[in-house]
């Protein structure tokens, strides 16, 4: 089975990518592949951040590398938290603080429409770039529902499933998620 290095240390993200691509690739985190550094996400779009991560790790390891940058875009907040989804409340990766701040910022709002967006980039060691894009729509709930998934999953009610991603099984979520759709879009270009 061919190895696919993913420029991420996010366990939830790695688990999802493995579930989506594990039938074709042995998914390996950048750390397990030998990249121990941090990659600063300085882009203003999901695509730019995915490209920065994929290129940095690929060039360091001289390997093909897949990167995903994804997040939540809330309509009434002008697309926020967007590329700052993981650090929305100021503490990078503190999912609970991020969810609490989002719920607070939407207090009293009738429009709770949102979408998860994912941009994936496969950066090949020869410099070739293949990308994919996906999104999934829903609404932000007023309180957490379920404990599955990670990030904003338990406050995002999926239009496709009719329940929060926090209540959905991995299999259910991975059939409609933004990351699944982005990876399918990328695979169609391979």
What amino acid positions are annotated as catalytic residues?
69
Token pair listed for 117: 């967006």
Categorise residue 162: left if φ over 0, alpha if ψ from -120 to 50, beta otherwise. left
Widest pairwise Cα distance in the chain: 51
- Give me the count of residues in the chain: 190
Could you check whether the bond before residue 81 is cis, i.e. omega within 30 degrees of 0? Answer: yes
Query: Which position has the token pair 């933004």?
Result: 178
Q: How far apart are CA 188 and CA 168, in angstroms?
A: 26
Pairing state of beta strands 156-158 and 113-123? unpaired
């Amino acid at each position: 089975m061919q190895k696919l290095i993913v420029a991420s240390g996010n366990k939830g993200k790695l688990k999802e990518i493995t579930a989506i691509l594990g039938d074709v690739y042995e998914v390996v985190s950048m750390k397990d592949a030998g990249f121990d550094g941090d990659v600063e996400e300085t882009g203003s779009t999901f695509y730019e951040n995915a490209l920065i991560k994929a290129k940095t790790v690929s060039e360091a390891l001289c390997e093909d590398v897949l990167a995903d940058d994804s997040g939540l875009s809330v309509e009434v907040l002008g697309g926020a938290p967007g590329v700052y989804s993981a650090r929305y409340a100021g503490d990078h990766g503190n999912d609970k603080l991020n969810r609490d701040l989002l719920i607070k910022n939407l207090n009293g709002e009738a429009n709770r429409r949102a979408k998860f967006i994912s941009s994936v980039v496969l950066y090949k060691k020869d410099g070739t770039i293949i990308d994919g894009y996906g999104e999934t729509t829903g609404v932000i709930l007023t309180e957490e529902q379920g404990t599955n998934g990670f990030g904003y999953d338990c406050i995002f009610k999926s239009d496709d499933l009719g329940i929060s991603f926090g209540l959905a099984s991995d299999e259910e979520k991975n059939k409609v998620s933004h990351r699944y759709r982005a990876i399918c879009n990328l695979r169609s270009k391979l």
